[in-house]
Amino acid sequence: MGIKKYYSLALCSMQNTLAYRLSFILNFAANFIGLIAMYCLWQAVYDGRAQLSGFTWPQMQSYLLITFLVNSMLSYYSESGITNKIIDGSVMMDLLKPLHFQKARLAETLGSCVLEGILSCVLIGVLAVFTVGASLLQDGLTSFLFLISLLSSILVKFGIVYITALLCFWTMSGIGLIWARMAVTNLLSGALVPLAFFPPWLKSIAMLLPFQGIVNTPVTIGLGMTEMIQALQLIAIQWIWIIILWLLGKWMWSWAVRQITIHGG
Amino acid sequence: MKISPRRILYLYWRLFSQQLKAMMEYSADFYIMIGAAVMTQVTGFLFLWVIFSRIPDIQGWQFWEVAFMYAAIYVSEGVGSLFFEGTWRMLRLVNLGELDRYLVRPVPVVLQIFCTGIGMNGLGNIIIGGTIIIMSLSHIHIVWSLQTVGMAIILFVSAMIIRVAINLAANCSAFWIRNSGNAFPIMIHNLGEFAKYPITIFSLGLQLFISIVVPFAFVSFVPAAAMFGKESWSYLGWFSPLVAVYCCGVALLLLRIGLRRYESAGN
């Protein structure tokens, strides 16, 4: 029972994104600037070098494109939505509704993810045609596994975003928490630089944390750098984290609502 | 109406300290903002370090030279947030009609806009960015003389003015684009990404764009080139003050045009 109401929530958030389309497109363009800067930087880095840390330039190009795709899904836009609810107290209204708070937020997030995903896929498709020799998704099986890991990565990211947002109940600071989370996620997920470039100690730390499931897993699978078995293992690890983060979020929520402060009436 | 520079400084100080008091009421927010800025910078620094541990230089630029540019962008961002955060609140001022109050006071509107808030993340940016700049300068061989010190000061002041003017100009979009969040100014802000690296890695069009249209290059790249004596670029350092004047002019002009368009929110 009840899947339908979450479905309508997802639809609502999709329409909401469409209603503020100028904002949505400008945000997207802002991220795109980052992609161009990184692309040019890596181009200069690879100048005169065949490969670095097991990555050839065409692989690196695909790496940047996939990272952009993963990062533009579940953007800042949906993230700040959750923290704002808590900061301005409108979370109170959610407490009155016969909805599971965590599931409702997931539904909303996934709703706007659909549009973000479509737009970035189109853009990346165009870019991939222009960047010569991008070694993206060579066969059917890889593509299939990539798609699964990509969808799972959204859930991992949601788990982390949700828990960070709940911290607002204690800190009363939204944007600072989001920035801190972004910094940590960007480094440890492999969004800034592939984990293969890290010194061994940093890489082993990163592999033990949930963040690598956001970028590192879909990218290594998409680039065909893993065997079938390895790929399945990586996806299994993603799901272990999805479950752990979900339960953690659930537990934090039940703890947080007990000490809620709402300003004004 | 003419107000003496001394009076402006005094007013700025009074407005700023009031905001500071308000800010200190939320002490958790205060530390989290600083912490977030520090974390962002440290990860950025690690990123550069990881790249340079694999390669010796990028088009002739060494690790510490690029780190200097990287930190220069962050310090300018920090100065912009800590002392001129109000530029980022313009959307709110315009949409909620709060600008009305500013327009009836006998204090320059720009000054009041600047003092609408304080971004404590700026402090974190300035501290870490400043540390990285000092570390870079100690690792790079520079012959310090009266001339280089004078040059450094001019470059630094110009860079900060340029940054704040770009923020102000970008946020003037609030007068035209309603209801879009801070998306447009954030996009302009992100153009700063291009100036974190030697601009020679970009295509000519992009180089011209970030040197002339939105001159972030003068915040980081040009000071770095001038200080480290990169032959083909260092002469641009002499244009820094001119670019600062140009940026201020454009920003103030945009604000003026914007204010003319401003119609208060009914209430």
pLDDT at A244 over 90: yes
Q: How many CB atoms lie within 10 A of CB B231?
A: 7
Q: Tell me which of A30-34, A87-91, B77-81 is least confident.
A: A87-91
Closest CA to B210 of B182, B251, B247: B247
B169 within some domain: yes
pLDDT grade for A169, boundaries at 50, 70 and 90: confident
For residue range B22-64, what is the model confidence (pLDDT) as tens digits? 877 777 777 888 888 888 888 888 888 888 888 888 888 888 9
Which pLDDT tens digit goes with each residue over B1-15? 567 888 888 888 888
Contact call for residues A68 and A150 (beta carbons, < 8 A)? no
ipTM of the complex: 0.84
Cα separation, B241 vs B223, in Å, equals 11
- Which among A23, A34, A43 is the nearest to B201, CB-wise? A43
Domain contains A201: yes
Could you give the number of structural domains in chain B?
Answer: 1
Task: Note the pLDDT of residue A261.
Answer: 61
Say whether A51 sits in a helix, a strand or coil. strand
Query: A77-131: per-residue pLDDT in tens?
Result: 677 778 888 777 777 788 788 888 888 888 888 888 888 888 887 877 777 767 6
Tell whether A52 is covered by a domain: yes
Query: Within a domain: residue B23?
Result: yes
Whether the per-residue pLDDT at A136 is higher than 70: the answer is no
- With residue A55 as reference, give the H or E element that holds it: strand A55-56
**Concatenated DSSP letters of chain B:** ----HHHHHHHHHHHHHHHHHHHHTSHHHHHHHHHHHHHHHHHHHHHHHHHHTT-S-BTTB-HHHHHHHHHHHHHHHHHHHHHHGGGGGHHHHHHTTTHHHHHHSSS-HHHHHHTT---THHHHHHHHHHHHHHHHHHHS-----HHHHHHHHHHHHHHHHHHHHHHHHHHGGGGTS-S-TTHHHHHHHHGGGGGGS-GGGS-HHHHHIIIIIS-GGGTTHHHHHHHTT-HHHHGGGGGHHHHHHHHHHHHHHHHHHHHHH--PPP-
Locate tokens 């510490």: which residue?
B64
| Full domain range(s) for residue A30 | 17-259
- Alpha-carbon distance of B191 to B90, in angstroms, equals 20
- B193 CB neighbours in chain A (<8 A) are 33-34, 37
- The H-or-E segment that residue A52 falls in is strand A51-52
Distance from C-alpha of B206 to C-alpha of B212, rounded to nearest angstrom? 10
On whether residue A22 sits in a domain, the answer given is yes
Mutation for testing the A interface, residue in B30, B42, B81, B197 having most A CBs under 10 Å: B197
Residue-number span of the structural domain to which B235 is assigned:
5-261
Would you call A193 an interface residue with chain B, using a CB distance cutoff of 8 Å? yes
Q: Can you tell me the distance from the alpha carbon of A163 to that of A251, in angstroms, rounded to the nearest whole number?
A: 10
- The token duo for A101 is 């708070």
- Count of domains for chain A: 1
Domain-located, residue B123: yes
- pLDDT tens for residues B133-192? 999 988 888 878 888 888 889 999 999 999 999 999 999 988 888 766 788 888 898 898
Give mean pLDDT, residues A1-21: 81
If you search the block for the tokens 């007990």, which residue do you land on?
A258
* Structure-model confidence comparison of residues A155 and A47, the more confident one: A155
pLDDT band, residue A260 (cuts 50/70/90): low
Sequence-separated (6 or more) residues with CB below 8 Å from residue A214 = A70, A153, A156, A157, A160, A185, A189, A191
- In whole angstroms, what is the distance from residue A235 CA to residue A241 CA? 10
Whether A264 is covered by a domain: the verdict is no
Query: What is the average pLDDT across A144-170?
Result: 88
Rounded CA separation B85/B213 (Å)? 23
3-class SS of residue A225: coil
Whether this prediction's pTM lies above 0.90 is answered by no
What average pLDDT does range A8-25 have in this prediction? 82
Mean pLDDT estimate for chain A: 83
Whether residue B267 is contained in a domain is answered as no
The reply to whether A189 falls in a domain is yes
Kindly identify which residue of chain A lies nearest to residue B184, measuring between CA atoms: A26
A8, part of any domain: no
Cβ within 8 Å, pair B50-A198: yes
Interface membership of A237 toward B (CB under 8 Å): no
Q: What is the pLDDT of residue A262?
A: 59
Q: CB-based contact (8 Å) between A198 and chain B?
A: yes
Q: How confident is the model at residue A263 (pLDDT cuts 50, 70, 90)?
A: low
CB contact under 8 A, A22 and B183: yes
Q: What is the pLDDT of residues A209-242, one digit of tens each?
A: 999 999 999 888 888 788 888 889 999 999 999 9
Query: Looking at the domain assignment, is residue A39 inside a domain?
Result: yes
Higher pLDDT, B248 or A228: B248
pLDDT at position A223, please? 83
Residue A215: which of A150, A124, A260, A167 has the closest Cα? A150
Enumerate the residues of chain A whose CB falls inside 8 A of the CB of residue B206: 36, 40
CA distance to partner chain A, nearest, from residue B45 (Å): 10
Residue A68 in domain: yes
Residue A65, helix vs strand vs coil: helix
Determine the residue type at A199. P
Distances (CA, A) of B153 to B141, B163, B236: 18, 15, 15
| pLDDT tens-digit series, residues B191-208 | 988 888 888 888 898 889
Confidence of residue A265 (pLDDT cuts 50, 70, 90): very low
**pLDDT higher than threshold 60 for residue A135:** no
pLDDT of residue A138: 63
Residue B125: closest CA among B170, B82, B63 = B82
- Closest residue in chain B to residue A37, using alpha carbons only: B194
Say whether B26 and A182 touch across the interface (CB within 8 A): no
State yes or no: pLDDT of B264 exceeds 80. no
